Amino acid sequence: MKAKFNIAASAAALSLLALPAVAGDPDAGESAFASQCANCHNVVSDDGDVLAGRQQVRTGPNLYGIVGRQAGVVDGFRYGNSLVEAGEEGLVWSEEDMVPYLLDPVSFLRETLDDRRARSQMSFRVRDEGTAQDIVAFLAQFGATDAEEEAEEGGS
């Protein structure tokens, strides 16, 4: 009986690992992006199609393909030193990292780099975790297909 329970408990634990850690609503995220992020950021595909935000945005980097990308590497954008350092030390934007970054960029970088002097050029903060999850769910839609296709081509 105890062995059956352990197997069932192990299976339940493994099924939890398969669930996405961020359960945001992409539709709500689209609205939140438009009202909170689009003044500084846009989402423009590799083909130049504006998928969210405006064509000309100069404050923040293009967020196309942000989930799964190393932090601080969009060509043509001048990032702050702390974000570049975090990327060089291995920070790849995951849904789990983006939520705390959106809630408090400075604290996130200070904790990630273990440097109380770390700074962020992004001064805006999303006010609540649910909204941050929604924004991340919205952004996670863009570029994932391209990354999957590249992985499939490389694996063939």
- pLDDT, averaged per 10 consecutive residues of the chain (156 residues), comes to 42 40 83 92 88 81 93 90 94 94 95 94 92 95 60 49
Residue with tokens 């001048």: 78
Q: Sort 98 into a burial class: Cβ within 10 Å, 0-12 / 13-18 / 19+.
A: buried
Whole-number pLDDT of residue 46: 87
Report pLDDT for 1.
46
Q: For residue 16, what pLDDT is reported? A: 38
Q: How far apart are CA 67 and CA 98, in angstroms?
A: 8
Which amino acid is it at 63?
L
pLDDT of residue 49: 87
Topology at the third CATH level for domain 22-155: Cytochrome Bc1 Complex; Chain D, domain 2 (1.10.760)
User: In the prediction, which pLDDT does 117 show?
Assistant: 94
Give the tokens for residue 28.
Answer: 């709500």
Which amino acid, one-letter code, is at 100? Answer: P
3-state class (DSSP) for residue 150:
helix
Give the separation between CA 110 and CA 125, rounded to whole angstroms.
15
Give the containing element (helix H, strand E) for 130.
helix 129-139
What residues have CB less than 8 Å from 52, skipping those under 6 apart? 30, 33, 34, 38, 42, 43, 63, 138, 142
What are the beta bridge partners of residue 92? 70
**pLDDT for the residue numbered 119:** 93
Task: Give the model's pLDDT for residue 153.
Answer: 53
Residues 6 or more apart whose Cβ sits within 8 Å of residue 38: 52, 53, 54, 57
Give the pLDDT of residue 79: 92
pLDDT of 75 reads: 86
Intra-chain end-to-end CA distance of the chain, in Å: 45
